Structure formats: C-alpha cells, structure tokens
Structure 1
Amino acid sequence: MPLVHGGPFIPLSHITMDTHLLPTRVHVPALHTAPEACANCEAPRMGEYCHACGQHFLDGRLTIRRLVRDFVVRKLGLEGGLLRTIVDLTIRPGRMIQDYVSGRRQRYTNPVAYLLLAAGAYVVLSKAWQDAMVAGLRAENVGWEGDQGEAFVQVQLFTDAHPALMTLVLCLFLAPPLRLLFRRSTVAEAAVFSLYVSGHLLLLQLAISVGALLLGKDVYQAITGRLMGVLTIGMLFAAGRFYGTRFSSFLKFGLALSCAMIGLFVLMLFAVLVVSAANAPAVPGT
C-alpha cells in the first residue's frame, strides 16, 4: 500500500461516515428585537422609568386612577415618603433638611409640595373653627377702633384663609437675612430651610387647633396662647440642628427671624391701613 506523507494511502471510496451523527438542522439564535421606545421622547426603554426624560412607563390605556396618581405623585413631588418627611421634620428637622440639601432628596417630599399640602389641609379643616376665630378676633380687637378694627379682623381672616400665601411671604422675608448672616449657605438652601420649617409649623398649628376643637376648648385662645411659643421653639430647634448649636448661630438666626417678623408685621400693618381706607365711608361733597 503506497504511503502518502509517511502514512498509508486510503481511497475516498473506502471512507464511510455515520450520517446520523451529523446535525440535520443548525440552530441559529434569534436576534433580539429592538427595545420599546419611550412614548414621550422616543428613547429606548430601559427599566421602569425612561433614562432620558424620566417618564414612568405604564402599560395599557390611561385611567382616572393613573391620572390622579400622576398628579399626586409626580406633580406634587410625592415620589419620596410623605410620612417619613413628617416624622423626620418632627424629631430631627435640621438633619433631615441637611440631608435634602446634600442630595438625599428621593426619600423626602419636595419642600414646596410639603408646604402646599400643609396649607391645603389647614384650609380644609379650618372651616370647622372659622366662626370661633371671627368671634375671638372681634372680641379682642387688639386696640384697634372703628374701621381699623374691622380692617384688622378682615386681614387676619384673609391670612387664615390663605396660609400658603402668608407662609411664602414669611419665607421671602426670612431667606435673604439667613443668606446674609450664614455665608456658607446659598439662597436656595435658605429657602429650602424656610419652606420645610414653615410648612411643618403650619401642620403643628393645625394639630393644636384640631386638638383644642376635639377637647372642646376655644380654638382662638389655643392658637394665640401657644402658637408663638410653638413657632419660636420649633424654629430654634430646627436652626440649631441645621446651622449649628453655637451661641453665635442662635444669635444670627434670632436676628434673621426678627427681621422676617418685622417685615411681616409692617406688611400686615400696611394691609390694615389699605383695607381701612377702602372701607371708610365716602365723605359727602367729595
């Protein structure tokens, strides 16, 4: 038998193969289909939320439940825990606000949304003691006489009916002096502090009013007798945790709060004078 390259030569006709060992069908893996696109920005869908625009992916048609949930959760900034925000602002307000400013925002409710929710709850529940507030304001009259006394009552009722507006005005008066006195903070950080603390103190005022109502007490006396003490203690407690517990920090915050309260008082005094002038009867012959 001839050798080919050092080995025996075997004709091809003598070579047999077991055909059943050969695969009869080659499996080709199917190609992945294109990912679903975001309906809002057409970016590829990756996860539960769009990585490009942040829209929540929801399967199926739009429903009333989804419409309400989208407004409450997204538009009001309630992606974070509202209950956690309330608890942390009660027991450790400065640390909680510092966490939010430092970037841990997902776990907490947005400060503007928190203020609006507190104001909304106050407006709804305050209807139960509005008559008591009117009677208390007219009885005291705080030294005002005639048209000015009635104007004072009207201004007070307006502020009580629009807590969000008045709280925002207080924040506008409080944030600038905080920024000037505490140079390490920005205007935005001072505004976050003012919004959170003001909104939470509004909830505390609401709790005092509801408690007095349930106990059969005079709501007006409960608010006027305890509100300023609660506001002052709450503000100082939050400021000590946020700006520091040194005496100089408390002194600076007290100065900023005094400036804000003076500005608010001057604004309300101006409003009383304007309302009094508007309510004054016209002089004959003028």
Structure 2
Amino acid sequence: MQSNNCLNCGSVLESSSIFCPQCGQKADTHRLNFHHIWHDLVHAFTHADKGIFPLIWQLVFRPGIVAREYVDGKRKRYFNPFTFAFVVVGFASVILIGSGFASFSGGSAMPANPISIFLDKHVNLLIFLNIPLLALFNRLLFRRSGANYSENLVLAAYTSGQRSIFFSMLVAPIWLMFHPPFYPFLAFYLFCWSCYYGWACTQFYSGRKTVSFFKGMLSTLLTQVVTVILVSVTFYIYFRFFYKRH
C-alpha cells in the first residue's frame, strides 16, 4: 500500500523514499496479514540486526561489552535490554514455577498463607526486583566509574535476562532429571551467577579487572541478601499482624 504521506506521522514522502525521513517507518506499508506478522516475529527474534537469539549468543561471551556498547550509543545492533529482560524472565518464570525449583510455601513448617501463594504464582516479580537492586549496588560499588544509575540498569537487565536463559536451558532440566539436593544445588547455581556477573563487570567497567570481578560478585550477594530480607519481613508482618490462628 503506497501513499504520498507517511501512514505513521503524516509527513510528505518523495516517490523514491524507502523510509519516512521524520519517523523512520517504511514508506511501503502493506496491509497486515498472517504472513507479515509471522515474518516480523521471526525477524525480531533471529535477524542479525537487533535479534534476540544473536543477542543471547553474544551475552554468553561478552555480556559487559554488549552492555557497554549499548550505553555508549551503539543501540541499533542490539535488542533493547529491558524488553529482553521482560521477555526472557517471563519465559523463565513459567519454567521456574513448573519445575518446582522455587517454592515459598515452606512445606509443612509454614501454614498456608496468601503471601506464599502470591509469590509461588508471581516469582517473576522477585526476579524483576533483582534488576534495580543490582543496578543500585553497582552504582554504589562502582561510583568512580562515572556510570549513572540508568547505565548500570542496562548491565543488570542484560545479565539478569541471560541468567534466566541459563536457568531455563540448564538449571531447570538438571533439577527435573536428577533432582539433586536442593541447597547445595541452589548454592552452586548462585555461585555460577555471581561469577558470570563479576565477569560481565570486568568488561563493562574500566580499571583493575580483579577488583571489578569481586565487586560484581559482591553486588549479587548484596542483592540476594536484600531480597531475602524483604521477603522475610513481608512474611513476618503478615504472621505478626494479620494471620489468624484457628
């Protein structure tokens, strides 16, 4: 469907225009059908320019470099970090709930309560909470780097999304197939995550890599501690002030 005006912003288009000079939308805008929707969906996930699958592969080997390049303005080549985190965390949350790896019911030691039920169904909220907390602790620990809070959020979003991919593709299958002892397995998983994040920090920040690595690990530890404290305080408030024993 060719028009003399951009269908998005209304700007006048030259006959030779491929894209609108004002908003960047394609001048040749087809009527939507299933073929175009499928093409756009596949393009969004697989295309070398901003595709999510190429991004996942790059985040395996160069997470800090990807985040640094995005912060420095090379944004056309990369999938948006916050969209990436939203998509993969949502996907991983379904697997996390289905695998039974994380449960807040506490077994028979904890009475049934709405807090546990809510967290069991919405564990993704805790994963999302980790992103701003990671950025906050990085802002404090790497304050001399000059990176502001928003720039630290980019690193936290990319790496947290990749953490969700790691859980979905490796941790959950191992848990379901072999069902290893929970706490040692959880500790190993968190240790791997801390090492990955510390490594990402060595790529994202300038300075001594060893220092950046351990600061990154400390950031994940502090984030985990604060998350546990927030959850524990929520349970305490409920059982202290709202729980009615029968």
Q: 2:77 aligns with which of 107, 112, 116?
A: 107
| Equivalent position of 2:12 in the other structure | 44
Pair 1:262–1:146, CA change in 2 (3 A): closer
Partner SS state of residue 106, structure 1: coil
Match of 1:185 among 122, 142, 147: 147
Query: Retained in 1: the 8 A contact 2:62–2:200?
Result: yes
* Partner of residue 57 from structure 2, selected from 87, 98, 106: 87
Residue 199 of structure 1 corresponds to 161
| Structure 1 unmatched runs, 5+ | 1-34
**Identical aligned residues as a percent:** 22
Describe how 1:43-82 pairs up with structure 2 within 5 A: 43-45=11-13, 47-66=17-36, 80-82=50-52
Residues 84-121 of structure 1, C-alpha deviation per residue, up to 9 Å, x if partnerless?
A: 21011101111111111111111211111111111222
Residue 249 of structure 1 is matched in structure 2 by 212
- When Rg is computed on C-alpha atoms for both structures, the one with the higher figure is 1
Q: Name the SS for the 1:208 alignment partner.
A: helix
The residue aligned with 1:238 is 200
Partners of 1:133 and 1:220 within 8 A in 2: no
SS at match of 1:86: helix
Q: Pick from 162, 166, 170 the counterpart of residue 130 of structure 2.
A: 170
Write the distance in 1 (CA, Å) between the matches of 2:161 and 2:127.
7
Given that residues 174 and 257 in structure 1 are in contact (C-alpha distance below 8 angstroms), is that contact kept between their aligned partners in structure 2? Answer: yes
The unaligned stretches of length 5 or more in structure 2 are none
Output the TM-score relative to the length of structure 1: 0.68
- Using the TM superposition, name which of 54-63 and 108-117 deviates more: 54-63
Paired residues of 2:5 and 2:11 also in contact (CA < 8 A): yes
| Mapped partners of 1:262, 1:133: distance in 2 | 16
Contact 2:4 2:12 in 1 (8 A): yes
What is the CA deviation profile of residues 96-155 of structure 1, one whole-angstrom value per residue up to 9, with x for unaligned ones?
A: 11111111111211111111111222234345423x7559953xx7xxx443xx55x964
Task: Kindly state the Cα deviation for residue 277 of structure 1 after the two structures are TM-superposed.
Answer: 4.7
Kindly tell me: are residues 135 and 242 of structure 1, through their superposed partners in 2, closer, same or farther at Cα, counting changes over 3 Å?
Answer: closer
AA matched with 1:49: F
Equivalent-residue separation in structure 2 for 1:88 and 1:264 (angstroms)? 28
C-alpha separation between the residues in 1 aligned to 2:227 and 2:49?
A: 33
| 1:50–1:57 contact (8 Å) kept in structure 2 | yes
Q: Is the 8 A contact 1:240 1:249 kept in 2?
A: yes
Q: Distance in 2 between matches of 1:252 and 1:210?
A: 28
Give the number of aligned pairs.
235
- Taking the aligned partners of 2:178 and 2:104, their CA distance within structure 1 comes to 14
